[in-house]
Amino acid sequence: MEKPIGQKIRELRKRKRISQMDLAERIGLSFQQIQKYEKGISKISVSRLQQIAKALNVDVCIFFEEESNKNSHIMEDEQKYVSTPYLDKRERELISLFRSIDNKMIKEGIILLLKGIVEQNEK
């Protein structure tokens, strides 16, 4: 799991035109450690990933998206996951319920349903 997350870190960092050195300074690491994370050599703790997300101004959730959507939606995802400091009670409930579903097809169906609702709401 380290490689896909490392690749997303690298993609987001480059998209935002942040060097490895700048990212490292923002979170108090060496640029060599950032290189190790991006190459998938070193494991990344959740707290470190949260620091990286904050330094890149994205929500940590972006690192856990399925790989099939990685390239086609990275720019769109970056917009969706701009860091929000707090989730309200209903948002936390929605995430908790969604995470409790084991079936990937059901999860995809829910996502498609929500996208359809949002599209209709925007018209």
Domain of residue 27, CATH code: 1.10.260.40
Using a 10 angstrom Cβ sphere, with 0-12 exposed, 13-18 middle and 19 or more buried, the burial of residue 66 is: exposed
Number of domains in the chain: 2
What is the percent of the chain with per-residue pLDDT over 90, rounded to a whole number? Answer: 37
Spell out the alpha helix ranges (H) of 1-123: 2-15, 20-27, 31-39, 46-56, 74-80, 89-99, 104-122
pLDDT tens digit sequence for 14-63: 998 999 999 999 999 999 999 999 999 999 998 999 999 999 988 888 88
Domain around 111? 89-122
Listed residue (3, 10, 4, 11) closest to 75, CA to CA: 11
> How many CA atoms lie less than 13 Å away from 63 in the CB half-sphere?
27
Residues 57 and 103 in one domain: no
Residues 74 and 97 in one domain: no
Residues 74 and 30 in one domain: yes
Listed residue (47, 69, 64) closest to 9, CA to CA: 64
Which pair of tokens denotes residue 82? 């701009």
pLDDT tens digit sequence for 96-112: 888 888 888 998 899 88
Residue of 70 and 16 predicted with greater confidence: 16
Residues 49 and 95 in one domain: no
